[in-house]
Structure 1
Amino acid sequence: MKGGVEKRIREVSVRLAERGHEVHVYGMRCWSDPATIERDGVTIHGVALAEALYCGGRRTVPQALRFGRSVLRPLLSSGADVVDCQNFPYFSCFAAKAASALRGFPLVVTWHEVWGDYWYDYLGPRGVFGKAVERLAASLTDHPVAVSPSTARALEGLGVSGPVPVVPNGIDTARIAAVVPAAEESDVVFAGRLIRDKNVDALLRALVPVRDEVPDLRALIVGDGPERPALEALARDLGLDGAVTFTGFFPDHDAVIAAMKASRVFVLPSTREGFGIAALEAMACGLPVVTADRPGNAARDLVRDGVNGFRSGLSAGEMGEKILTCLNRDQENRDLIARIARDFDWVSVTSQVESYYRDLL
């Protein structure tokens, strides 16, 4: 399964190649020999053998260090005009900076998220080291790019001179439009990993007052993760076991889109989102989005209150009220929401990336 970072790299790279640019992608090799392959006009270099990214539920530092060390020599010999390095897992940014200084090409660092004090939640007292590395990485280039206004503001908080340009992530609107709605309809849908930061428990509690107004309420929780057993137990305790269905992960992404198209409101109560592609995909399906109004949730940047959804607190009363308001909207509003999402098509995003590179040169 591809994450938002990997999806951005692929979608932009392929489209840049279609426009006549020579595009090379450097990453860990998760395929058999040869180490360098070509896909869809893009040359992909496996600079080191793939290994587990997580240990005990946390990203492993040795893996990040090995990738950073392994990518230096290929970048030095790349002959690149521009190098765009994704900010995480940081150590590759330092290798790219060294290659940039030695070879003279401009270095872009694309920031998908800034953790800041969240490092202490993630690592406890050791978070001071993660926070320090992040701040140092933010100082490596004069050409940072953020994928959301929230991330741009957080970068300025790290001392990056602003304003930081924002080039968002995107969606394939044509592919989404071609997906047929699922046969099983629902009123409310969530899609994502069932982890603590997604706050699906807040959604379940908000569904209690919603069900008081909509007795035949149907809600889908699409996804899986370590919180699922506790969330299923909470749904039973709240008397929602007949109204809420936990589907697990679907076999392909089109099935997620189909479920969205057969629903009426998408709810993302997450307090940590680097961008919120699932929310944007829901908007492309015409769904209003109710999302958490928290600084760490970049999905709130996509929402215009009262137009394509609402920013909400996590209390059951407030979130439930926002969900009910969305449920009462008509089809005309769905069409407006889908039109707003078209501004984020990958074609438009690629044009913004291309323009930014040209300005550097």
Structure 2
Amino acid sequence: MKIAFVYDAAYPWVKGGVERRIFELGRRLSSKHEVHLFSLKWWENDDKIDGIFLHGVGEKVPLYSGGKRSLNEALYFSFKLLLGLKGKFDVIDSQVFPYLSCFSSEICSLSTKSLLVLTWHEFWNMYWFEYLGMMGLVGWVIERTVAKLPGKHVAVSQATKRSLEEIGVRAHVIPNGIDFERIQKIKASGESSDIIFAGRLIKEKNVDILIRSVKLLKEEIPDIRCIIIGDGPEKEGLKRLTIGLGLESNIIFKGFLEDHDEVISYMKASKVFVLPSTREGFGIVALEANACGLPVVTIRHRMNAARDLVKEGINGFVCSLSPESISKAVMEAINREMRRECLSIASDYDWDKIVKLYEKFLQENLARQY
């Protein structure tokens, strides 16, 4: 097969979950198929990486403006893609966000009779209004319009699939994955902890609730240690909260760690991973924690796809968003032996297994098309 992935950012120059998914699928597919990525030009010289042919349809521009995804960037990429997505492909896999590029991908797929795959990493629906107020109506309408485009819709999580099905869109789940064997080879840090969190320090991650739960846990475990990895706009406020609650010796802020192996190393030296987020498109970090043998405590919320990765009492716990609920779940996770189950579940999400699901999905749909 000749496969074209479409997204405005590219790994390893931009290290997000979408970029990583394309890279991990693409480099594995390239051993048997011809794989291309159409993106903005984030790289300097080489137009190929790990078997993936790179096509820069336009110069890189800032993805964010004022802390939110830039509309100008989305328009720019969509226009450049319409002119730059050239060649005959069996499959065009367009990542749905930031939406506008899906219309360009649709036009190109029709002109070349390619199979169009629309990959959904999240479905925002009414969250648009929380994100942008009344201006969110524009995003809501565009998202609904993309959902009605002809093509095969892929959801990376069961949560996103459910959301799409609620508006009548049939979607097939091809989840994200992890490099399970690589994680097994990383050694544990010499700095141990009881609880660990890793992620962007933004409002919807609810790290403040985690900090308040540590305050409660300190009553039972006076020397409890919680490591927080990541950076973001909430960082200074979270540090002030930590001081205000008298937890300076219990909570350690590590900031953003450039080397992800270091994050894994800290996970391996901890006991429980807490992901108090109310919005996760998938939650790869939860799988990585399981691959380190750690149970995961996460939140029961319709926009938190990570909750579907947790089997209650087997590889973690799903609880309500409150310090009391989180602290109770953490204590249960600490006191229960769950390592074997965590490793077993995480191994099912190895990228080598996910790519076989993806390849089978493409081949079956191409066979139906012809």
TM-score (norm. length: structure 1): 0.96
- Given candidates 325, 339, 347, the residue that maps to 1:342 is 347
SS in 1 for 2:196: strand
Match status 1:201 vs 2:190: no
Tell me how far apart the structure 2 counterparts of residues 109 and 158 of structure 1 sit (CA, whole Å): 16
Cα deviation, 1:246-289, whole Å, max 9, x if unaligned, reads 11011300000000000000000000000001111001001000
Pair 1:179-2:186 in alignment:
yes
Alignment-mate amino acid for residue 349 of structure 2? F
Counterpart of 1:153 in structure 2 is: 162
Look up the match of 1:316. Answer: 323
Letter in 1 for 2:38: Y
**Hey, what does 2:26 align to over in structure 1?**
13
Alignment of 1:35-114 (within 5 A): 37-75=47-85, 77-114=86-123
Structure 1 residue 142: Cα displacement: 3.6
Aligned to 2:175: 168
8 Å contact 2:118–2:151 — kept in the other structure?
no
Deviation at 1:73, TM superposition (A): 3.1
Give unpaired runs (5+ residues) of structure 2: 1-13
Q: Distance in 2 between matches of 1:98 and 1:203?
A: 46
Gaps of 5+ in 1: none
Report the equivalent of 1:26. 38
Deviations 1:163-190 (A, max 9, x none): x210000000111001000000000000
Larger displacement relative to structure 2 (134-143 or 167-176): 134-143
Alpha-carbon contact 1:108-1:141 (below 8 Å) kept: no
Letter in 1 for 2:234: E
Question: What corresponds to 2:10 in structure 1?
Answer: none
Q: Distance in 2 between matches of 1:251 and 1:358?
A: 37
Residue number among 215, 220, 238 corresponding to 1:213 in the alignment: 220
Partner of 2:11: none
CA RMSD of aligned residues (A): 1.1
Runs ≥4 in structure 1, deviation > 4 angstroms? none
Cα distance in 1 for residues equivalent to 2:218 and 2:268 = 21
User: What secondary structure sits across from 1:23 in the alignment?
Assistant: strand
Which residue does 2:4 correspond to in 1? none
The C-alpha deviation readout for 1:46-67, integer Å capped at 9, x for no partner, is 1110000111111111111111
Higher mean displacement: 349-358 or 137-146: 137-146
Identity %: 47
Cα offset, 1:38, TM superposition: 1.2
